[in-house]
Amino acid sequence: MPAGEDSLAHRRHVWSRVIPQSQYSLTNRLDLEKIFGRNAPLHVDLGCGDGSFLRAVAHSMPEKNFLGIERLHGRIRSSERKTVDQSNVRLLQIESSYAVCYLLPAGSVETFYLLFPDPWPKRRHHPHRLVTPDFLNSVHVALQKNGVIYIATDHLDYFRKIQDIAESNSSLAFAELDVELPPTGFELIFRQKGTPIHWLVLRKISPVK
């Protein structure tokens, strides 16, 4: 093998985890079977960050498909490197809200993970928060029957706001945290500082009226 060919092949393999723009349209739903090359239950990591959690959770469930969504290019590159050997992972560089509302097919998602989203703590920045009534309605549409979304935050005000929004959504019910998930980088930092972590689990129970 010529010098450098192995590293070039490795880089090409790394990039294959990111869904190329040629495989999706901003105006059409994703063809998930084509993207993953198989039909399997879909788990979606919203704001997958550096890919540490995505790598761990995808490794623990090889029978599932995992889609990591992240808007920042540097984080997508980090996630690529961490998941290079995991055939059940794909990455999409786009805003999470747009992907949930416009790209994920109805009833296609078994599980969402929304772990430590930006709390935008200043009041004037609250409109930038991801979790809104419209967002949870879109989550409901994307979830399959009895599908769930796991939400975690260290920010108590944001947690209470999410609770209020969820309580007003009759199509999602509060559920117990029934799985032990791998810790994210943020979670490890908060644990070391003794910062309380607030969890919310919502399960799809009925169509939006």
Q: Calculate what percentage of the chain has a pLDDT beyond 70.
A: 89
CA 111, 105, 94, 136 dihedral sign is negative
Nearest CA to 29 among 75, 92, 71?
Answer: 92
Most confident of 40-44, 82-86, 179-183, 188-192: 40-44
Nearest CA to 101 among 150, 136, 129, 145?
Answer: 136
Q: Supply the pLDDT for residue 109.
A: 98
Query: What is the tens place of the pLDDT at every residue in 55-85?
Result: 999 999 999 999 999 999 999 999 999 999 9
Reported pTM: 0.88
Could you give phi then psi for residue 80, rounded to 5 degrees? -60, -50
Q: Supply the pLDDT for residue 19.
A: 87
Enumerate domains of the chain plus CATH numbers.
30-204 (3.40.50.150)
Is 85 an active-site residue?
A: no
Distances (CA, A) of 21 to 38, 68, 93, 177: 19, 15, 10, 36
- Per the residue annotation, which of 6, 31, 118, 164 is the catalytic one? 118
Q: Supply the pLDDT for residue 16.
A: 61
Q: Supply the pLDDT for residue 198.
A: 95
